Amino acid sequence: MRIYLTHCTGIKDESFQNTKKKVLPDVLYRSAMLQRFADRCREQGVKWAIFSDKHGIWFPDVEHCWYDKHPDSVSVEELKWLVENFDDNLNNFTEIWFYNNPAWFHRLYKTVLKQSALSKRIKLFSHLKEVI
């Protein structure tokens, strides 16, 4: 079974900032890249999720409040938790396809993918037409 992932973005709907309203990931994150990714996954009817610097794997049916967490601010303890969260949430998938722009792929994401016990199941890709 395959899942498609992409990383979160700092471009968020600021109308949720300073509120306690919980929203879905594709409602919070407003970058064109993330919106195109979510749209393509919905169109193709595939399983997908966002990798969040704060929440780890964020599935499209789960709501969270607005937050501000830059990947540069992730501590060693948080990194350990992110890797464990990644492995726990994606263990049932035989293929993990991670959508990214190689020029903007933060070292945090590279580190998580490298440290993951599931690293042999991960495929990086950068063209949405590969979501099938």
The model's pLDDT over 42-94, given as tens digits with 9 standing for 90+, comes to 999 999 999 999 999 999 999 999 999 999 999 999 999 999 999 999 999 99
Does 102 score more than 90 pLDDT? no
Confidence category of residue 111, pLDDT binned at 50, 70, 90: very high
Indicate the pTM of the whole model: 0.95
What does DSSP say about strands 95-99 and 56-58: parallel, antiparallel, or unpaired?
unpaired
pLDDT, position 104 = 77
CA–CA separation, 45 and 50 (whole Å): 16
The per-residue pLDDT for 7 is 95
Non-local CB neighbours of 99 within 8 Å, separated by 6+ positions: 4, 5, 6, 37, 125, 126, 128, 131
